[in-house]
Amino acid sequence: MSADQDNQQDRQQTQIPDSSPEQESGADKSIRESVEDIFFQPRVLVVDDEQRIRDACQRMLSEEGFSVACTQNGEDGLDMLEQTHFDIILLDLMMTGLSGFDVLSRVKSLHPDTVVIVITGYATIEHSIEAMKKGAFDFLPKPFSPQDLRLVVRKAIEFIRTLQDIATEKSRMRVLINLLSDGVLTTDNQKNVALANPAFLRMIRSTKTNVQGNEAREVVSNSRLLEMIDEAMVQPADSFAEIADEITVDGEDESEATILGARCIPFRDRLQRKLGTVTVLNDITALKKLDQVKSDFVSMVAHEIKGPLNSILMLLNNVQSGVAGELNEKQSEILGRVADRIQSLTSLSSELLDLAKIESGLITQEKEELDLCEMLDNQVALYRDKASAKSIDLDMQQSGQSVPVMGNRTNLEELISNLISNAIRYTPEGGRVRVSAGIDGNYALLEVSDTGYGIPEEEQEHIFQRFYRVKNEKTRFISGTGLGLAIVKSIVDAHKGIIQVDSKPDTGTAFRIYLPTLQEGKA
């Protein structure tokens, strides 16, 4: 082979070591070195009863950098295979003694990793097809040119390399996944375990070590986790949603229970066929504990503030009401202002408490089947007086159907109450507040809209932040703590809902809250 030919086949040259490394560029060299790391020197066994063929193959393949061994019959070939691993066998089909077909079958059953290329004496297509059926990788019809031989061997090398790449990738992936501190579980489309890393098994407190191929429900005892896998599997091909939840795994005693954040997604191929699921667990026990400590602290502080403030307010009210003697007009006015400020401080501490409670415990809070329409009706009734005091038309639009949701009653009441109270406070006299509940697809839709001052667009993204208040010349005198919508958002989040705001300054604001309907509301 000429140097010209080599240069024309640069790509392949880098894959097969040859005897002229000094011609290589730096980049080629590094590729070549990494290839050699994986695939040092391919070993080829030539089994042919023709001396001429054996010699030709030996010479040519040696030049290409292969390590070559030859033998003239099948029995010896199989013996040599027992001694050493060969990557490629060039096998003559028509030999005296053991036939090439017999050798092929034996090689395929005993050394499946070895690639067999058959050499067919009379270029009969039937023989070639049969050999391929029995597991030959390719065939080389006699007579063949050095170029023919080189091409077919290079193809085989490419194939072996690809297999090795896959194997390397697989083992790298396995090492990586086993090293992760997050738990990983993959299941196939029959819900059998394809992979479960040690962290996963430890997190679900499984005592098993080798679970591959087991049914998922034999390995995982947590029913919610199994449900999540089921939910991921039944997702229609055109939708893709991550299923996330918190699960608690009980320990030996209560104090050892761990809380895990679990996320499960369906795993599909490019044609969207379901291949299985991937679940990732992370241990959030410490976070949850910290969160509880934080909430307890906030709760404690707020409580300690709220009590004294209420006492102060009561004392003050006594003075205001003349229990401690008559007041003049100026004194009354001053005390009125003081009382208002104290009142707003107590509201603040109440709302802080609410927020702390919501943030700490909603997930474990009891949920029940509730009718949004009925709850809305009740809350509207409570705000009727406040609305008419400002000549605001508070109107509940009846859809005539019940809107069932799974939720925590206290929280949802508070959510509705906050929205209606906001709407009334931020709507000027003579305005209108409309509330409604209905079904929208898989969601229950709760809507509270007003004809109020509205929220400037640049402020809309901030309104759910704690203590954020939209302040301008119109809203300056509206009292509030800036926690109302933060509470609303926390409640919506805890119910796995979505909140949207649609607002235009001086036109009005509409809050839309989507909560999963009861059918979908298991989560």
Partner 1 sequence: MSEKKLVMVVDDDPDLVEAVSMKLESKDFRVAKAYDGQEAMEKIQAEKPALVILDVMMPRKNGWVVCDEIKKDEGLKDISVVMLTAVGDAVPSTSYTHHDGKTTLADDYVPKPIDMGKLMEIVDDHLGS
Select 29 or 294, whichever has its Cβ closest to partner 1.
294
Buried b / exposed e along 31-70 (16+ C-beta atoms within 10 A): ebeebeeebeebbbbbbbbeeebbebbbebbeebebebbb
> Do 246 and 259 meet the contact criterion of CB atoms below 8 Å apart?
yes
Nearest distance in Å: CB 397, partner 1: 31
Give 235 or 299: the residue with its C-beta nearer to partner 1.
Answer: 299
Question: For residues 193 and 487, which CB has a smaller minimum distance to partner 1 in the complex?
Answer: 487
- Whole-angstrom distance, CA of residue 486 vs CA of residue 466: 5
92 vs 354 by CB, closer to partner 1: 354
Q: What is the largest CA-CA distance in the chain?
A: 129
Could you give the C-alpha distances from 231 to 7, 226, 244, 505, in angstroms and in order? 56, 9, 11, 43
CA quadruple 412, 414, 419, 424: dihedral sign: positive
Q: How far is the CB of 301 from partner 1 (least distance, A)?
A: 10
Q: How far is the CB of 351 from partner 1 (least distance, A)?
A: 11
Smallest gap from residue 349 Cβ to partner 1 (A): 9
Whether the CB-CB separation of 454 and 503 falls below 8 Å is answered with yes
Of the pair 398, 479, the CB lying nearest partner 1 is at 479
516 forms beta bridges with 443
The CB-of-180 to partner 1 minimum distance in angstroms stands at 35
CA distance to 178, 187, 225, per residue, from 412 (Å): 43, 37, 27
* Angstrom distance (rounded) from CA 420 to CA 435: 8
| Least gap, CB of 347 to partner 1 (angstroms) | 10
Distance from C-alpha of 123 to C-alpha of 465, rounded to nearest angstrom: 79
Q: Do 10 and 34 touch, CB atoms closer than 8 A?
A: no
Q: Enter the DSSP assignment of 87.
A: S
Toward partner 1, which CB reaches closer, 295 or 509? 295
In degrees to the nearest 10, what's the CA dihedral of 109, 110, 114, 119?
-60
Q: Which of 301/396 has CB closer to partner 1?
A: 301
Helix/strand/coil (H/E/C) assignment for every residue in 141-155: ECCCCHHHHHHHHHH
Residue 356 CB, nearest approach to partner 1 (Å): 9
- Interface with partner 1 by CB under 8 A: which residues? 295-296, 299-300, 303, 306-308, 310-315, 317-318, 323-324, 346, 350, 353, 357, 360-361, 410
Please enumerate in sequence order all residues whose Cβ is within 8 A of that of 436, keeping only pairs 6 or more positions apart, or say none. 376, 396, 397, 399, 446, 447
Provide, rounded to whole angstroms, the least separation between the CB of residue 292 and partner 1: 8
Q: How far is the CB of 330 from partner 1 (least distance, A)?
A: 23
User: Which CB atom, from 298 or from 515, has the smaller least distance to partner 1?
Assistant: 298
Query: What are the distances in angstroms from CA 86 to CA 61, 244, 260?
Result: 14, 49, 49
Q: For residue 482, give every residue at least 6 positions away whose Cβ sits within 8 Å of its Cβ, in sequence order, or none.
A: 466, 467, 468, 469
The radius of gyration computed from the CA coordinates of the chain, to the nearest angstrom, equals 38
Nearer to partner 1, 27 or 314 (CB): 314
Query: C-alpha 192: how far from its chain's center?
Result: 20
* 3-state secondary structure (DSSP) of residue 370: strand
Closest separation in Å from C-beta 325 to partner 1: 11
Choose between 318 and 507: whose C-beta lies nearer to partner 1.
Answer: 318
Using the minimum distance from each CB to partner 1, give the nearer residue, 15 or 310: 310
Output the smallest distance, CB 510 to partner 1, in A: 30
Decide whether 254 or 458 has the Cβ nearer to partner 1. 254
Coil/strand/helix, residue 30: helix
- Residue 164, Cβ density class (10 Å: 0-12 exposed, 13-18 middle, ≥19 buried): middle
Q: Which is nearer to partner 1, 167 or 315 (CB)?
A: 315
Closest distance to partner 1 from the beta carbon of 319 (Å):
9
CB of 303 to partner 1, least distance (A): 5
